[in-house]
Chains A and B, each alone.
Chain A
Amino acid sequence: MGKVLKYSFYDLVRSRWSYIYLSFYLALGFVLLFLNNDLSKGVITLMNIIIVLVPLIGTIFGTMYYYNSKEFTELLLAQPIKRSHIFLGQYFGVAGSLSMSLVLGLGIPFMMYGLLRSNAVFDFTLLLVVGIFLTLIFTALAFNIAINNDNKIKGFGYAVLLWLFMAVIYDGIFLLSLILFEEYPLDTFSMVATALNPIDLSRTLILLKLDISALLGYTGAVFKRFFGTQFGFWMSMLVLLLWTILPLLRLRYTADRKDF
């Protein structure tokens, strides 16, 4: 798997898109810090962007890379390499290079503004960890969609729909159901619903870490009671980890059974 990973990673690091993605984050980081001049506020603004943008880029890049490297995959399939290693290698190549762009692109400006001397360092680290998780999750989902759809247009369509669902529609349904069932106790329901969507979960995690959960009103207090504790934090991390591992297991399962 290492060798496939190496070549995929090289290939991506040389590509124009990685640089565009990296320079976008660099620009974003510098502009935010220049305008805010406050690391903590910068983290909050960044969160709102990362939570939506990282999944979108992961999904689009994942599907695009899978379809574009079809030739490479066919070449590899005839070589003495285990099938699952081919696909997992490519996956980690994509997810790795995207995560690297994220970490470097945001890390450099924040370091230069004195991140290490401020008390925002833990919040910022959490933001990066969540960003990396979202990259891993959505790239894995994208690979799953692409391997099941030989038709590129369909694959792209499903991938964008998935992102739209997770980032926008899910919240809509969630809010709607909260209004519809407002007569009932909804604490458990809203907590479970939040945990099931990696984007919502990431947002909640960071908001609670930033101690602005008061903004969320009564729900905020309930959330704080669960997600704010050590146990809640590690549970959330576990859920994010599951969101990463399950699609990868499915990818391996599908790859082992597909005809090329």
Chain B
Amino acid sequence: MIHITALHKKFGKNEVLKGIDLTIAPGKIYAILGPNGSGKTTLIKSILGMVIPDKGSIEVLGHPIKKGWKYRKQIDYLPQIANFPGNLKVRELIAMIKDLRNDDNEATDLIQLFRLESHLDKKLSALSGGTKQKVNLVLAFMFDSLLLILDEPNTGLDPNALIQLKDLIKSEKAKGKTLLITSHVMQFVEEVADEVIYLLEGSIYFNGTLEELMAATQQTNVEHAIAELTKTELNG
């Protein structure tokens, strides 16, 4: 699905990614974890082509992404911070993205699921943070792409919406899609993820299934396992 070799990225003097090698297999849910500033978002943005790597290569669906853009048709992306043009209405935004992607999928089900009907004719600048995140989710889930990248999908959601989100993620997986998720909420990760990729200071520190993570750290829940991982790093 995705194949990354020796990926390096510097922002000025700050070396954010230091040689990432990673293979993402289709049909699974991957959780990308790591402390703030460990390079999670940079990694995701490199896959999307928003950040241009200094060294290394990325292949999506067997094709190198360098200078390409058509492959993004196969990726749905949920950005970390929901920034939308403020003077558009929700309805217009959804129509615009559909038009830009040349895709005619209906968003009605998702709009109902997140109870956004009453907000459709409001301007995006008038929405609350949580509602914006719901719009963000609708845009990410409404197309039938093979790969879904969710950057902190659970920020600002109420418990009800959070349950809907988990169900959505599971149903997307059942359709055979691949998901990449970053999150700081370990309980959420534990519930949805198959594989864990732990980034620390721009390198992959752990890469394996949830069970392997538990076994390696001799812990019973993800929160403690991750804490243990960080501790061993500090001691070692």
**Interface on A for B, CB 8 Å cutoff?**
3-4, 7, 11, 14-15, 69-72, 74-83, 256-260
Chain A residues near B86 (CB, 8 Å)? 71
Q: Do B50 and A79 have beta carbons less than 8 Å apart?
A: no
Tell whether B48 is near chain A: CB-to-CB under 8 Å. yes
A interface secondary structure, majority: helix
**Distance (whole angstroms) from the CB of A135 to the closest CB of chain B:** 23
Residues 40-80 of chain B, each 1 if its beta carbon lies under 8 Å from chain A, else 0 = 00000100111110000000000000010111110101010
Contact pick for A69, options B48, B85, B101, CB 8 Å: B85
Contact pick for A70, options B11, B48, B72, B83, CB 8 Å: B83
Tell whether B87 is near chain A: CB-to-CB under 8 Å. yes
Rounded to whole angstroms, the CA-CA distance of A83 and B96 in the bound complex is: 17
Chain A residues near B45 (CB, 8 Å)? 259-260
Tell whether B1 is near chain A: CB-to-CB under 8 Å. no
What are the 6 A-B residue pairs with the smallest beta carbon separation, nearest first? A71-B83, A80-B73, A80-B72, A78-B77, A72-B85, A259-B51
Knowing A78-B79, A80-B72, A82-B69, say if A71 contacts B85 (CB, 8 Å): yes
Chain A residues near B96 (CB, 8 Å)? 7
Q: Do A76 and B100 have beta carbons less than 8 Å apart?
A: yes
Q: Do B100 and A79 have beta carbons less than 8 Å apart?
A: yes
**Distance (whole angstroms) from the CB of A37 to the closest CB of chain B:** 42
Q: How many residues on the B side are at the interface (Cβ–Cβ under 8 A)?
A: 27
Q: Do A75 and B85 have beta carbons less than 8 Å apart?
A: yes
Tell whether B126 is near chain A: CB-to-CB under 8 Å. no
Q: Do B97 and A79 have beta carbons less than 8 Å apart?
A: yes
Chain B residues near A258 (CB, 8 Å)? 52
Rounded to whole angstroms, the CA-CA distance of A257 and B101 in the bound complex is: 23
**Interface on B for A, CB 8 Å cutoff?**
11, 45, 48-52, 67, 69-73, 75, 77, 79, 83-88, 96-97, 99-101
Rounded to whole angstroms, the CA-CA distance of A81 and B77 in the bound complex is: 14
Chain A residues near B85 (CB, 8 Å)? 11, 69, 71-72, 75
Rounded to whole angstroms, the CA-CA distance of A82 and B70 in the bound complex is: 8
**7 intermolecular pairs with C-beta atoms under 8 Å apart:** A3-B99, A3-B100, A11-B88, A74-B50, A80-B71, A83-B49, A259-B51
**Distance (whole angstroms) from the CB of A67 to the closest CB of chain B:** 13
Contact pick for B87, options A11, A70, A75, A82, CB 8 Å: A11
Rounded to whole angstroms, the CA-CA distance of A3 and B79 in the bound complex is: 22
Knowing A80-B69, A81-B69, say if A71 contacts B84 (CB, 8 Å): yes
Rounded to whole angstroms, the CA-CA distance of A4 and B69 in the bound complex is: 15
Q: Which residue of B lies closest to A258 (CB)?
A: B52
Contact pick for A260, options B50, B72, B87, B100, CB 8 Å: B50
Chain A residues near B77 (CB, 8 Å)? 78
Q: Do A78 and B69 have beta carbons less than 8 Å apart?
A: no
Rounded to whole angstroms, the CA-CA distance of A259 and B45 in the bound complex is: 9
**Distance (whole angstroms) from the CB of B63 to the closest CB of chain A:** 13
Chain A residues near B71 (CB, 8 Å)? 80
Rounded to whole angstroms, the CA-CA distance of A14 and B100 in the bound complex is: 20
Q: Which residue of A lies closest to B85 (CB)?
A: A72
Chain B residues near A14 (CB, 8 Å)? 87
